[in-house]
Amino acid sequence: MGHYAAYGSNLDPARMRAYCPHSPMVGVGWVEGWRLTFAGEGDLGWEGAVTTIVESPGDRVFVALYDVHPWDAAQLDEVEGVTAGAYQKLTVRVSTLEGDLSAWVYVFDGYEGGMPTAWYLSEIANAAEKAGAPDDYVNELRQRPTRTSSPEL
Domains of the chain (ranges; CATH) run 2-141 (3.10.490.10)
- Catalytic hit among 80, 112, 129, 152: 80
Does 66 appear as a known binding residue?
Answer: no
Q: Does 131 belong to an annotated binding site?
A: no
For the cut 60, the answer to whether the pLDDT of residue 151 exceeds it is no
Encode 35-51: b = buried (16+ Cβ within 10 Å), e = exposed: bbbbbbbebbeeebbbb
**pTM score, two decimals?**
0.90
Q: Is the pLDDT of residue 43 over 80?
A: no
| pLDDT, tens only, 2-21 | 899 999 999 999 999 999 99
Is 80 known to be catalytic? yes
Burial class of residue 71 (count of CB atoms within 10 Å of its CB; 0-12, 13-18, 19+): exposed
